[in-house]
Structure 1
Amino acid sequence: MDIEVLSNPPQSLVDFLENKIDKFNLEHWEVKERHPLAVQLKDAQGNIIAGAAARSFGKWLLLDNLWVDDSLRGKNVGSKVLQKIEEAGKLRSCEMCLLDTLNFQAMPFYRKHGYEVQWVQENYPESGCKYFMTKAL
């Protein structure tokens, strides 16, 4: 048996391994489906200027990303985007939302919107930290 270390693995290998884990999880996990969800805000020219991406499964909404263009920050746009994705999650019967954010990102923003820190990974990736936060919807 020759176990090979690949410093720059092909995307096909990464996808293969992810698909194998997904298949295993679906066979053993109580929730069989994950449904993608997103909201977006476009300007008059059709450019995306804010949005969020999430997945719903079981009673949970997993918020993967929320982004607002620099020109719109501090103008309540992020709050509106967050509210829309939470509402969409509720329509899918989600009762809780889970997200993670880095120390230089948006922890105070999420806290302001009712999210609570459940766990902090210190020294991530070196001297920063990563906050894992939840909120009852």
Structure 2
Amino acid sequence: MEIKIGHTEDAKTEEYIIQRLWQHNERFTEINMKTLNVILYDDQQNIQGGLLAHTWCGTLDIHYLWIDDAWRRLGTGRQLMQAAEDEARNRGCHMSVVDTLSFQARGFYEKLGYRVYGEQEGYAQRYARYYLAKRL
């Protein structure tokens, strides 16, 4: 046996490990993982924001949400979230989950009906990470 530590991305190896995990999980429940990306473009088709997620096991699992500073506080974040939640419902999802750090967007998610179900202190020795969920 040999254990190796890597310091660069290896897409082939990562995909293999992920697929093996899903094969294991599918013995217990249907995974049906699908990518769900909602992207904000300006009039020149430049990306100004986006939400990257997956739907699986009846859940919208939001990984990343970013909005360019010029587009913040205009309702665009809310629109991206609504579009993702609507599509998740169309895919049969009954809940949505997201996490955020204390300097990021906890209040934003709470205004959209998300509730904190977990908290972990100590990120960078000064921030908290919040885990939030919402029924769809």
TM-score band by shorter chain is 0.7 to 0.9
TM-score by length of 2: 0.87
Aligned to 1:97: 96
1:106: which partner in 2?
Answer: 105
Q: Structure 1 residues 10, 68: closer, same or farther in 2, change over 3 A?
A: closer
Where 2:132 maps in the other structure, the secondary structure is strand
Matching residue of 1:23? 23
Q: Which residue of 1 aligns with 2:43?
A: 44
* Farther-moved stretch of structure 1 (50-59 vs 112-121): 50-59
Alpha-carbon contact 2:35-2:53 (below 8 Å) kept: yes
Q: Report the 3-state secondary structure (helix = DSSP H, G, I; strand = E; otherwise coil) of the residue aligned with 2:130.
A: strand
For residue 135 of structure 2, what is the aligned residue in structure 1? 136
TM-score where L is the length of structure 1: 0.87
| Residue 29 of structure 2 is aligned to residue 4 of structure 1 | no
**Aligned partner of 2:126: which letter?**
S
Runs of 5+ consecutive residues of structure 2 not aligned to the other structure: none
Q: Deviations over 1:85-131 (max 9, x none)?
A: 11111111211101111111100100111100000011124321111
- Structure 2 distance, partners of 1:55, 1:39, is 11
2 CA distance for matches of 1:10 and 1:51?
23
Matched residue type, 2:72: R
Rounded Cα–Cα distance in structure 2 between residues aligned with 1:59 and 1:18: 19
Instruction: Point out 4+ residue stretches in structure 1 off by more than 6 angstroms.
Output: none
Per-residue deviation at 1:31? 1.6
**Aligned with 1:114: secondary structure?**
coil
My pick for the range that moved more, 96-105 or 17-26, is 17-26
Identical-residue share of aligned pairs (%): 30
Whole-angstrom CA distance in 1 between matches of 2:63 and 2:9: 24
Aligned equivalent of 2:82: 83
Equivalent position SS for 2:93 = coil
For the residue of structure 1 that corresponds to 2:123, the secondary structure is coil
Amino acid at match of 1:62: D
> How big is the shift at 1:9?
5.5
Aligned-pair CA distance for 1:10: 5.7
- Structure 1, unaligned runs of 5 or more: none
